[in-house]
Structure formats: structure tokens, C-alpha cells
Structure 1
Amino acid sequence: MNDLLILNGRLIDPANNVDAPRDLLLRDGHVVAVEAPGGLKEVQAVETIDAAGLIVAPGLIDVHVHLREPGQTYKETIATGTAAAAAGGFTTVVAMPNTVPVNDSVASLDWMMDAARGSVVKLFAMPAATMGSMGGELSDFAALHKAGAVGFTDDGKPVLEDHVMRAALVAAARLGVPVSQHAEDTRLTGGCSMNAGPVAFRLGLRGMTVEAEARIVERDIRLLREIEKAEGLRPHLHVQHVSTARAMEAIRQAKREGLHVTCEVAPHHFTLTDDAIGDYDTHAKMNPPLRAESDRMAMVAGLMDGTVDCIATDHAPHASHEKEQEFERAPNGITGLETALGLALRVLHKGQGMSLARVMQLVSAVPAGIVSLEGRGTLSVGGFADVVVFDATAEWAYDATKTRSKSRNTPFAGAAMLGRVKATICEGRVVYRQ
């Protein structure tokens, strides 16, 4: 047996409504006992972790990461990206398809999921919704789902044409998986490199309007209504990295209607505004862009009132030489796996009074449900032994030079964090220890 005991911790397991002192016994990759303190004192384990004064919670789950392999391993590999995930407390990540070549076939999905890639945590993937993510012909949803796909997306690009998005929603609904949409009307964003507003005007840069995001969200919600009425199906639309108040309100109304819409917000969109760009800081360039303070507060409000289903990092590593060029030429994206928990606890828990249970729900139980990861996002007996142990009171500053990612493109270098990961356990294996 490879028993691992976690003793004396405060267990927060939102899926089971637990927030109390508990001891855990992990064996052969699963949770085999959850007991009141002292209930496991007779167990002889190979290893024991003393979690006194610490939070013990289900391992974090990120439904939106870019791991760059194959094709751009100078930025990141599956091994390095998942090592960064483990350091951030994540035990499960879902890879996006904008690799080179695009992950749009069973062969490419199998290659990505192969153990030879060296994933440190549990890896799932959303292959491309359309071949080559070109927005035309659908990929083979049925074959990809059979091979392990947990959803479909052209992330990095929108599914722009109405008839293609409708077909994608119908095909995914028949398989019971979501279509994740990068909501950007690219007909409105050509040549744009940041949010439209006073900062863009000052910097002389062309800005993306809120309409570019909101129009696609509103169009997709309309398609959900039409499909339910015409075909009797209940498609699942997942809106990625929401960044505008208008899109958030459309999602809120759709949920009130009973439509199957979920959404995510990235830490940078509830933490920063476009002021962070300063004098053309490319580490603050991403898509969707950092927005105005009113939009940032709308993201916070959505997180607080339950409109937002989960936090996802949109971890998007780039090499230094790619970011060290003119703002308009630099690629979009920042790293985020190592800073997500620290930002969520600082901004939402400490800053807004969000309970620790709600924070954990946003990063474990609910994302597990969005992509139907049975046995994950909870510490139920019989479930996977995916655990994060962290000090919720620790204050620290992020040192980007010590990242486990290959890339350091973050606007949070030196930023204050709250909550320090002490250990990450994936399927019973300790994959990170501070």
C-alpha cells in the first residue's frame, strides 16, 4: 500500500458542504477515509502530512490553459506547464487546441494525452471545434469525444459564422459536452491591441470595444434559444474569459431564463484594469484585453453573486523575445497558473469578503462539473486523491524568476499574494511541496 495521511487540517470541500477539521487517508490514488481528528490514529502510512493551521481542499481545476505543445516548445511544454500548475495548487488542467498543428484529430489528441509528454498533473483537452480552428468544417466530435475530449473550442479564435456555431452546439449537445467560446467579433477588432478607452487614446493604440465581446455572447445565447425550441436539445455554452459588464449581464439574463450557459473569469480580469499597461507594458497585453474599472468590478460582482461559474487562468506562456517588441506586435497572453489562488484569495476573499468555501467552489467543484470530471473537484470517499494543502493567511510576493513555467510573461511579478500552497497531491502522488 502507498498510504498517505493528511492530519490536523481544516477540510473545505464545497461539493460535500464540509468546512471542518478532518483527517484524510489516501490510498492507491483515491480517498479511502475522511474522519474527525484522531479517527485515523491507528493507521500506519508511508507518509504523513501535518496540516495543522492549514486548509486541505480538493485540488484546483483549470478548464482553460495553453501548454504550447506540440509546435511551440520554446514557450512551454506539457511537462513544464503542468509543473507550474502543480506549484499553483492545480491537480487537473484542460488544454486548449491552438497548438502547431492544431489539435483537431484523434491522432493529435492521443499524442497530447500520452504519458510520454510527462504531465505532472492530470491532463484533459478540448480539441478544436472546427478543422484547423478555421471556423468552417466541424471536427469529428463523436470520434474525439470517444478518445477523451471533454468539450470543443476554437479558443484563440471565435466560431464566427452563425450556422457553424449552431452546428457545433447541436453536435456537442448530442454528446453531452460543452462548446467553449472565445467571444470576440473579429470583424470589429482588426488591428486592435487593447481595450478601447482613455488609456488607448493616450497611447495612440486602436482599441477593442465591449461590443466585440458582447455581440458574440448575445448571438450564442440566441442560438441556444433557437436550438432548444427547434430541436428539443439543451446545448451547453461555456463562455471563456468574460471581461465586459455587458457580456456578464447577457449571461446573467440567460441563466435566469434557464438556458445552459456557464462562464469563467480569469484572475487578471478581476484584478487589473487597462491602466496596468502603463507605457506599453506588453506583459499586460492579452485577449480579451484588460478593461475599465467598471468592467473589472462587474467581474467581481459576477463572481460574488454566482453568475460566474468558475475561475480559469487562460495560462498563455510566451518567450521573452516575443514580448520584448512593440506593443502592437507582441503576442497576447500571460502566464497564470502559479498566481491564480494567491490573487483570488487576496482580491475576493480578503478584499471582498468571499468565503473560502466559495473560492474553493470556483476553482474545484464547479469546473469539475462543467467538463464532467467525475470523482474530481471533491474529496468524497472513493474519489480521486487530488488535494491541495495551503496556508490561507500567508502573505507573499510572486517571484517570476522562480517560475516552473518556461516563460515569465506576467504582469504580477512582485505582486502581493495571499495564500501559499504547501503541497499538491495528484491521484495520491505528492507533485509539489514548498
Structure 2
Amino acid sequence: MLITGAELADGRVRDVRIRDGTIESVATGLDAAAGERVVEARGRHILPGAIDVHVHFREPGGSHKETWRSGSESAAAGGVTCVVDQPNTSPPTVDGDAFDEKADLAAASLVDYGINGGVTGNWDPESLFQRPLFALGEVFLADSTGDMGIAPDLFEDALAEAAGRGVPVTVHAEDETLFDAAALDGDLGGAGTAATADAWSAYRTADAEIAAVERALDAAAGTGAQVHVAHTSTPEAIDAVVDARESGAAATCEVTPHHLFLSRENAGRLGTFGRMNPPLRSERRRTAAFERLRDGDVDVVATDHAPHTVAEKRQGLADAPSGVPGVETLYPLLLESVRNGELSMERVRDVVAANPASIFGLPSKGQIAEGADADLVLVDMADPREIEAGALHSACGWTPFEGLRGVFPELTVVRGSVVYERDPVTGAESFGDPVGRNVREA
């Protein structure tokens, strides 16, 4: 395949030739070979495929919410060419047998993937680390809403184990002892009201996140473990990671699109569909987090794609599960911010592709360079579209970003295979066959 006349993130216009799954050439004036497919890309941007290091594709145990096939279709249609699935499925990915079960299901994926192992009171690190594990994560520090929260001593054991094996640890940091139970009094029913959505934010306080991030960083400092803090929702937590890194720690952080583009001011529209962990923060904190993204303090933007059915989310606050879908709208929302002048194209490229590849040891991904995996996305920055749930591909059938605008891909390629294509004129879509592979087996 030859893609001609495309603009890179840095503004250079280049032709890109793909051969045998990798990028053979990035140059100008390349001529098509006999029988080679040519994609004329003048006026469009070519970007490295996004690496979403935080998704929940729900299989095994939750295929009514999402499957590897539906989740990877959603990823491909959004320009995500590699995902990292978290361990809190059913059964949780805490031993070798559970890992193997998930890996068999992941064979249906259109995009490349990594599988994170989990840490619970009955995890089996010996069998787990015998598999091509991507990382330990999402390791829950005292998460009161699930069954995977762990005590501080087990967390320190997991850090030491991971450090000894050179495996990163992704941490979900909230301290349940700092949750404000009074915020939920009398506000547990009535799905769809601003009060219920906002009460969840008041309940899971900002201080609970900040304290847990600081505790996780302190514990990691004693083991030398590489720690990646998931879905930081407060500027204070981001600053703590930056301070730790400047002091020599191997510490990084991610922020989600829902914490960058939504706040407690959206509670009325979202109702219980706005329940997620960590919760939405104040508009002031949202703006401050976005500023840190723009200024380079945020390492990664990842989605925490956590689909649930509409019926599940319509329950009252006590019963509605936490989480929102987002893998398909990651690149589109950030690219719309480029259109608006809020972010540079190079910054977006770095936080969704180059940085995740560097942090998690994927040297062949996250870049458009000779010899790299041909994971590519073609977009027309002059063609933003309104985000509509009915046009997305996740099995859950809804999005918290309804009505916002985004720049969606026309073409997504994984290691040279076209996994998604949309005709720019007719809008007709097509998906390729499963080509995903475990990136730790590559």
C-alpha cells in the first residue's frame, strides 16, 4: 500500500509506503509499484495509530456489555490500533488460567492488544508472570465499589514483585477512607437527575484521589517499581506525579477524555450515566487538568473505556454501575481540540501514541518511521462530525459525549491491514478481519 501526499503531525507532507506489515518508506515522490493499492491523501493528515492503555472490553463474563469484536470495531473506527485490557473481568485476570481464557477470546480483535494481570488476595503471580503479561493493573488501592481493592501490604508486595520482573504497575488510586458517605444520604434513587450524578462526585472526593496517589508514589519509591497512575482526575494528582518524576521516580500518569471534556456542570444532562470512578470533578479542576495536558505534564490520554448497557445505567445511583464508553471518541475529541487551537497536533500524537509506546515498551509502535509497525490513521481535519451514539460501534449503544464534535478517521490500518474504512463521499463503512495480536508475543 502507498499513501501519498499526507500531512504528518509536524506539518511535513510525505508519502508512506507499507510493505509486509511495516513502514518501508517515509519520503516524497514515491512511485506506485505494479498492483499496489494507492491511497491519495492530499489535504488529509496521517497519524500513528492510538494506543489506548486502559480499556475494559468485558470478556469474559460481560459480553452483553461489550465483546472483543465489538470493542475492537469501536477502537478501529476511532483510530485506536492497540488496546490494553484491564483485569477486572469475570473471572478476574489474576492467574494463568484466567489469562489464557481471556487471550483465547481476544483472538477476535481487529486491533493489537495487551492483557494486564490483576492483584487480589488470591492472585497467583507465579503462573501469571509465566504469560506474556503487559503490566500489572488496574491495581485498585482501596476501591470500595468492587472486589479488587487491596490492602497496603499486598500493594507493596505487588510493587516489589513487578519491579523484580521489570513489569509496570498501573494503579487505580482512591482512598475509600476519605469518601464522604453523607453526600449520598437520601440521593440513591431517581436515575437521570442532576442530584444523583453530582452526589457521586461529592461522595468520591478529590482528596481521596490525591492522598492515594501520594501513597502509591511513596510505596513505589521504596521498591523502584515503574508506576503509571490511571485516570487522574485532579490537577493535584498530576502535580504529585510530576514532582515524583522530577525526583527520579519512574512515575507517569494518564487522564481520560471524560475528565478533560466533562465536569460536574454536565451532571444534569448525564444523570446516572455520569457515574464513573474517579468521578467528574469541578469545572475549575477540569480546566486545570486540561491546561496540564496542553503544557506537557500529562503523559498519556487513555479512555478507561468501561461500557455498560443503557438499562444498567438507568438504575438509581446505588445500583447503576460505574463507567463510560470512550475508545472510539479518544482521537476525535482531541483532534477537535486541535481544530479549536487548544492543543497542537504533535501534542495529541505524543499523548495517544508516542508516549504510551515509550512508557510501556512498544518500540515498534507509536510513530511514523521506517521500520515501525504500519499502524496508521488517516483523517480529514476539515470534516468534523457531531458525536452520535447511533453512529458509534460499541455494543453498549450510548456515549457521554453525545452532541460534542470530533474528527473521525477515514482509514485505520493495523500492521498494514485495513481494519476500518469510511468512504469520505458516501459515508459507507467497512471493517476488516481480525488481525490483532498480543503485543507481548510480537
Fold match by TM threshold 0.5: yes
- Does residue 112 of the first structure (1) align with residue 102 of the second (2)? yes
1:224 matched to 2:220? The reply is: yes
Aligned to 1:10: 7
After TM superposition, list the pairs within 5 Å mapping 1:188-199 onto structure 2: 188-189=178-179
CA contact (8 A) 2:242 2:252 kept: no
Q: What is the aligned partner in structure 1 of residue 188 from structure 2?
A: none
**1:26 matched to which residue of 2?**
18
Count of residue correspondences? 406
Unaligned runs of 5+ in 1: 13-17, 228-233
Q: Does 1:152 align with 2:136?
A: yes
Give TM-score, length-normalised by structure 2: 0.86
Shift of the 116–60 alpha-carbon distance from structure 1 to 2, 3 Å rule, reads closer
Matched, 1:238 2:222: no
Q: Does 2:124 align with 1:139?
A: yes
Distance 1:163 1:95 in 2: 25
- Does residue 404 in structure 1 map to residue 396 in structure 2? no
| Structure 2 Cα separation of the partners of residues 379 and 21 of structure 1 | 12
Q: Aligned partner of 1:325: which letter? A: Q
Q: 345, 349, 361: which is aligned to 2:350?
A: 361
The CA distance in 2 between the partners of 1:124 and 1:389, in whole Å, is 24
Tell me the alpha carbon deviations over residues 45-76 of structure 1, each in whole angstroms, 9 at most, x when there is no partner. 43221111111111111000000000110000
Deviations 1:179-213 (A, max 9, x none): 1000111233375889xxxx769966652211111
Query: In 2 relative to 1, CA 267–202 (structure 1 residues): closer, same or farther, beyond 3 Å?
Result: closer
Give the C-alpha shift of residue 246 in structure 1: 2.0
Give unpaired runs (5+ residues) of structure 2: 143-148, 185-193, 423-442
The yes-or-no answer on 1:426 pairing with 2:422 is no
Cα distance in structure 1, aligned partners of 2:196 and 2:63: 36
Give yes or no for contact 1:186–1:212 (8 Å, CA) kept in 2.
Answer: yes
1:249 to 221, 225, 239: 239
Match of 2:190 in 1: none
* Matches of 1:202 and 1:83, distance apart in 2: 29
Give 1:416's match in structure 2, choosing from 379, 382, 405.
405
Is structure 2 residue 71 aligned with structure 1 residue 81?
Answer: yes
Q: Give the letter aligned to residue 6 of structure 1.
A: I
Aligned residue among 202, 207, 212 for 1:211:
207
Amino acid at match of 1:218: E
Give deviations 1:320-373, integer Å, cap 9, x for gaps. Answer: 1101111332111111011111211233x2445321011111110111122211
Q: Match for residue 371 of structure 2? A: 382
The Cα RMSD (Å) is: 2.3
Q: Flag the 1:384–1:204 CA change in 2: closer, same or farther, 3 A.
A: closer
CA distance in 1, matches of 2:309, 2:358: 33
| Alpha-carbon separation, structure 2, partners of 1:192 and 1:260 | 37
| 1:44/1:143 CA distance change after superposition, 3 Å | farther
- The change in CA–CA distance for 1:146 and 1:188 in structure 2 (over 3 A counts) is same
Take 2:17 and 2:52, find their aligned partners in 1: how far apart are those partners? 25
Give the letter aligned to residue 169 of structure 1.
L
| Partner SS for 1:392 | coil
Give the share of equivalent positions with the same residue, in percent: 36
